[in-house]
Amino acid sequence: MTFLANMLALSRQPSALHNLREISIGVKKDDTQQHRSKIAPLVSLLTGVLGRAVYLESLRISPADSVLIHDRDGGLQRAICALPYLKTLVLREASERAGTLLNGISSGITELALHTTGTTAGQDAAPYLNKFWSTLVTVQLYRTDLRAASTIFPRLKRLLLEETHVRDVRPLIVAFPEVLELRFEAALGNTKADEGKVETTRAENRAAQVNEDGATEGEQVSFGHTWPGLEHVQGDIESLYMLGLRCPIRNLYLHTLTTWNQGKLRALLDDGLPEFLSVDIVLRDYYIHKLHDMIPAHAFLPMRLRLTLWFKDYTRDASEVALYSVCSSDRQSRTSRCSSKTFR
């Protein structure tokens, strides 16, 4: 009730609303009638505030579906769409109502985060992005689909994809040619158990980035169909391995390294040749003696290395293993930063 009272007081102060630049709305997920009865007054007040906050630049709503469903007359959506200076829009747990909202926005959105609900997971987000092709700088998608990405986004620098279905990397390279930061984690469609499918997809992606036009037999091919270079790449090893990127990577952040995917780590390092590498490693008693072999030897030479050690069901002294890791790095004439964490 205190929050609603503050919102009500704010809505009655036009001068204060002119200075308002950012609003974040977080609503507890609760399907009880008592909780739902409190959302409607919030939506009404928010509609009034947005109607006067003409200089608002950032709006975050979570969960968006719980708020928009109580916008009975569409007043809230109209108020959002009328904001002339809105640049950042974050909609978490959004359903089809988010699509209607995005279609009505006329301002130049530069940062868009769209997290779908479980019932709408996998829906194609490309049509919603296309409207902002000339202004978007950052896009964050969660549980969506980007198979139909065809419009070129000349200003987009940050592409953050979580549980977003991307099988072919070439459409991403074409649609987002100026990307500098890529996050790709736990992609839908990346069936870790089906190694044959992962290897096939990786081979197709790598072949799609090679420019063989005019190349004669024996001539070295060029990678003309990929990004010229990426500043930051982050993700799980399996997903990034499937993408098969063939471009220089300055900073590479990977999780989680085990004895089962160390070969894929080597492939990522060979392709990206990063200057900085950060790796999360889960350690268990039965393969601590393999820690030396899990990081390729050449990883210690030209790059800075940071290891984060996670101890699961581990019985040895953590400091002993951390020291062992640092000493291993020093022996290769390179110093690493090493932190350790324990979980059960």
Q: Is the same domain home to 264 and 120? A: yes
Q: Is the same domain home to 200 and 263? A: yes
Within 10 angstroms of residue 57's Cβ, the number of other Cβ atoms is 17
Q: Is the same domain home to 205 and 148? A: yes
Q: Where residue 147 sits, what CATH number does that domain have?
A: 3.80.10
List Cα–Cα distances, 222 to 3, 12, 215, 275, 278, in angstroms.
59, 63, 9, 22, 28
Q: Is the same domain home to 255 and 158? A: yes
283 near 315, Cβ under 8 Å?
Answer: no
Distance CA(239)–CA(241), nearest Å, equals 5
Q: Is the same domain home to 142 and 28? A: yes
Q: Is the same domain home to 122 and 177? A: yes
pLDDT one-digit tens code per residue, 121-154: 567 788 888 889 999 999 999 888 777 677 899 9
Distance CA(145)–CA(165), nearest Å, equals 5
Q: Is the same domain home to 192 and 296? A: no
Domain count within the chain: 2
Distance CA(79)–CA(275), nearest Å, equals 47
SS3 state at 153: coil
49 falls within a domain: yes
162 falls within a domain: yes
Q: What is the largest CA-CA distance in the chain?
A: 75
Q: Chain-centre distance of CA 29, in angstroms?
A: 23
Residue 157, pLDDT > 60, answer yes
Q: Is the same domain home to 178 and 46? A: yes
Distance CA(265)–CA(305), nearest Å, equals 14
- In a 13 Å sphere around the CA of 336, the CA atoms on its Cβ side amount to 29
Poorest-confidence range of 122-126, 196-200, 262-266, 315-319?
Answer: 315-319
Paired strand residues for 102? none
Q: Is the same domain home to 230 and 305? A: no
318 falls within a domain: yes
Which amino acid, one-letter code, is at 232?
H
What is the reported pLDDT for 332? Answer: 38
218 falls within a domain: no
Phi, psi torsion values for 249, nearest 5 degrees: -125, 125
The mean predicted confidence, pLDDT, of the chain is 78
Distance CA(322)–CA(253), nearest Å, equals 19
Question: How many residues make up the chain in this entry?
Answer: 344
Paired strand residues for 94? 116
Residue 205's pLDDT band (boundaries 50, 70, 90)?
A: very high
Q: Is the same domain home to 185 and 319? A: no
What is the reported pLDDT for 214? Answer: 46
Residue 17, pLDDT > 60, answer yes
pLDDT one-digit tens code per residue, 83-114: 999 999 999 988 777 888 898 998 999 999 99
Q: Is the same domain home to 236 and 299? A: no
Domain that holds residue 50: 2-7+17-209+223-268
Residue among 253, 318, 252, 254 at smallest CA distance from 283:
318
Phi, psi torsion values for 11, nearest 5 degrees: -65, -20
68 falls within a domain: yes
325 falls within a domain: yes
Q: Which residue has the higher pLDDT, 31 or 324?
A: 31
Task: State the pTM of this model.
Answer: 0.82
In eight-state DSSP terms, residue 22 is E
Q: Is the same domain home to 236 and 284? A: no
Q: Chain-centre distance of CA 148, in angstroms?
A: 18
b/e map of 138-172 (b: 16 or more CB within 10 Å)?
Answer: bbbbbbbbbbebebebeebebbbbbbbbbbebebb
Residue 257's pLDDT band (boundaries 50, 70, 90)?
A: confident
